[in-house]
Amino acid sequence: MKKTLLPILLIVGVAAGASAQNKTVPGKTDIIQQEYLQFEQVPNSLYILPTPPEYNSVQFLNDQYQYYWGRGMRKGERGEKAVTDATLDGLEGMNNAFGEVFGTEITRENTPELFLLLRSIGRDAGGFAPKVAKNHYMRVRPFVFFNDTTSTPQYDDHLRSSGSYPSGHSSYGWAAALILVEINPEHQNEIIKRGYEIGESRKIVGAHFESDIQAGRVMGAATVAALHANEAFQKQLAKAKEEFARMKKAGKIKPSTAELQWK
């Protein structure tokens, strides 16, 4: 059964030191992840981001328009993808999100070093990065504001009791995309597009306003910058790059479809 990113957001606590430690995720005894940043080392979303749009503002008119646009996209292939994008955690989440555009399956068996890296940054980018602003503003989710439901109703009860601004999924997805591009720059166009779509999916399912998503991308990028100053992250990133280089040399990475379109 697939797991959601939401448990990561719920279990965030005090981090370990700068040196990474392999730890079993609570409730998921078969999944190991590393801890990179201490909570105070993650960019402060409350300090960095502007306040969310007031409900009588022009910015909120765009949030409203984007909400109804997203609701209209729920049926069909794009709507199905948005539901899948709600699940970034677990054994299949990152592969479902990025495996195709990265050029190979991102799994514990196929790419163990990359799998570990992407799982581990979820705590910092998806949990810590949006936390302070989320808890401060406790912005009402759009589906609650519009007296609606999401297309992921199994998560609605939790979403009702948590802040909407900024989007943790958007932050995590954008951070993962930036790191994947660093590892596989030849696929940068497809990877960045997918990172963008993960945020857009939060609007389609009805879990976030457009302004939540934009703020989430800012926090994702800021977290990647902070991670690059962390020695443990740098070591694991180097392992993932070496793993990718071996796979590419062995012909196990599919060519970039975006690159082919340029020719």
Which positions are annotated as active-site residues?
169, 202, 208, 212
DSSP string, 3-19: --SHHHHHH------SS
Using alpha carbons only, what angle is made at residue 101 by residues 5 and 171, rounded to the nearest 5 degrees? 35
> Cα(159)–Cα(259) distance, rounded to whole angstroms?
39
User: Is 121 in contact with 36 (CB distance < 8 Å)?
Assistant: yes
The count of residues in the chain is 263
Phi, then psi, of 261 in degrees rounded to 5 = -70, -25
CB-based contact 223:233 (threshold 8 Å): no
Return the biggest CA–CA distance within the chain: 57
Any idea what the Cα angle at residue 171 is, between residues 243 and 42, rounded to 5°? 85
Closest to 111 (Cα-Cα) out of 254, 1, 247: 247
Which amino acid, 263?
A: K
Residues contacting residue 66 through CB under 8 Å, at least 6 positions apart: 203, 209, 210
**What CA–CA distance (Å, rounded) separates 153 from 252?**
38
SS3 content of the chain, % helix, strand, coil (to 5): 65, 5, 35
